[in-house]
Structure 1
Amino acid sequence: MVDTKTNFEIRPFETLGAANHGWLNAHHHFSFGNYHDAARMNWGAIRVWNDDVIAPQSGFPPHPHADMEIITYVRTGAITHKDSLGNEGRTAAGDVQVMSAGNGIRHAEYNLENEATTLFQIWIMPNRTGGEPSWGAKPFPKNDRSGAWQILASGFDEDNDALPIRTDARVLGATIKAGDSLEYAIGTNRHAYMVPATGAIEIDGHRAQARDGVAIGEGVITITAIEDAEIVLVDSR
């Protein structure tokens, strides 16, 4: 559903690009890999939003990246990261890791658990190319974002409690109880993309199911939870 007057679009989960590799069942909100849709190349600086299900004891072998901010939001299970800088860490459900690829980094992401891991992998284009690569992870207890937005990653200096990214963007999370509402203001010339990890929601009267994507232009939106919902939102230039 596209509302051209308000620059608002709901992208149902079943319309997303898909690739099932056995060990990885991926759905793509934006063009990625063999999935190409000229209307879904990016939303502002947001370039990739993949909804991944990774089978137990499997994962992404070492591979390179450059000039991209890569944010991983773990929904269930856990992901274990290793990279060419010597970083290694396990990020569990509800928590976040950030990799600034900079002038080049190799990394691997493995599900070493005995259950499937589900996550959102989000790529945001950086403000500038090059620079030293980096990686970091941080726990974000869901109770801290009950009925309120919590900034998980940010390119703004004032967001001291968030993981740093090298782009004019924020990644936020919130949980909303059924029947409750939460507002979000999107600034002039900004772009927001939101996905409920769980639960059905309404945005100004438009319904979105769990794992649907919602692309939104500038303005104030009101999100009402039809069911208990866990939401991830990216606000970018």
Structure 2
Amino acid sequence: MIEHRPFESLGGADHGWLKAKHHFSFASYNDPKRMGWGALRVWNDDIIASQTGFPPHPHADMEIITYVREGAITHRDSLGNEGRTVAGDVQVMSAGSGITHAEYNLEPGDTRIFQIWIIPDGRGLPPSWGTKPFPAGERSGRFVPLASGFKEDGEALPLRTDARVLGATLKAGETTSYSLAKDRYAYLVPAKGSVDINGTRLNARDGAAIRDEAVLEVKALEDTELVLVDSSR
């Protein structure tokens, strides 16, 4: 089963400094049919204007992954962490027992991110934060774990949940595949470009909610950059 969710069908809000589209119910956007997908709870497509951002605010018991598509995001938190994550790279904040953080676009132009929240397996653990570069060349033609709760994905940023976030880049005409285990939930979004996945076309920033597909066969219809979440219930 592949449910195509066109970008134009997503909920969202325009705050001036922030233009946001929501793949799932979030803030003032509420759709009872889109409350999450397995353990995946939030997938926001955010455009943050230059010299603006999210002021300090708290979170608890959520795995928050930021995939930077364009520009860079600068992070500060109550643990004393500071860092800048640039396009193509990823940061993970495990909110655990509680953390306050701020995310700013200090760049000269817009910053575009995917903000992904996944429900953790446990509650009340110590909070943490980390960031890591993932050169596009290293995920050329294949899916590579960027953040993961599986020990075998040792190069990925750690998650405290039975899930992984993967990235791939494909040239027009290239194909790749991903095996999806039984009872798993997958959600795929092209950050740019368009693809055919098991006969379903996705354009840039469309979503695909996937279940009961043993293998995902992906063909790039143009140069594309993909982000995939594979999670449990």
- TM-score range for the pair, normalised by the shorter chain length: over 0.9
Q: Distance in 1 between matches of 2:175 and 2:192?
A: 15
After superposition, what is the alpha-carbon deviation per residue over 1:146-189, rounded to whole angstroms, capped at 9, x for unaligned? 00111100001121100001000000000011111111111111
Select 1:229's aligned residue among 224, 229, 233.
Answer: 224
- Bigger shift: 92-101 or 181-190? 181-190
Q: Does 1:151 align with 2:141?
A: no
Deviation at 1:197, TM superposition (A): 0.2
Q: Distance in 2 between matches of 1:209 and 1:149?
A: 18
* Identity value in percent: 66
TM-score (normalised: structure 2) = 0.98
Deviation at 1:205, TM superposition (A): 1.4
Structure 1 unmatched ranges of 5 or more: 1-5
- Aligned counterpart, 1:208: 202
Q: Distance in 2 between matches of 1:223 and 1:109?
A: 33
| DSSP-derived class of the 2:33 partner | helix
- Aligned counterpart, 1:3: none
Q: Distance in 2 between matches of 1:85 and 1:41?
A: 30
Deviation at 1:206, TM superposition (A): 1.1
Structure 2 unmatched ranges of 5 or more: none
**Large movers: runs of 4+ above 6 Å:** none
C-alpha contact (below 8 Å) 2:73/2:86 kept by paired residues: yes
- Aligned counterpart, 1:190: 184
After superposition, what is the alpha-carbon deviation per residue over 1:94-146, rounded to whole angstroms, capped at 9, x for unaligned? 00000000000000000000110000000000001111000000000000000
Could you tell me which amino acid in structure 1 is paired with residue 215 of structure 2? V
Deviation at 1:204, TM superposition (A): 1.3
Deviation at 1:88, TM superposition (A): 0.2
- Aligned counterpart, 2:104: 110
1:53-202 alignment runs, 5 A limit: 53-202=47-196
Q: Distance in 1 between matches of 2:109 and 2:61?
A: 32
Select 1:17's aligned residue among 8, 11, 16.
Answer: 11
Q: Distance in 2 between matches of 1:187 and 1:204?
A: 16
- Bigger shift: 20-29 or 151-160? 151-160
Deviation at 1:199, TM superposition (A): 0.3
Q: Does 1:220 align with 2:215?
A: yes
- Say what the alpha-carbon RMSD is for the aligned residues: 0.6
After superposition, what is the alpha-carbon deviation per residue over 1:33-86, rounded to whole angstroms, capped at 9, x for unaligned? 000001100100000000000000000000000000000000000000000000
C-alpha contact (below 8 Å) 2:142/2:177 kept by paired residues: no
Deviation at 1:221, TM superposition (A): 1.4
TM-score (normalised: structure 1) = 0.97
Q: Distance in 2 between matches of 1:66 and 1:40?
A: 22
Q: Distance in 2 between matches of 1:31 and 1:9?
A: 16
Q: Does 1:42 align with 2:68?
A: no
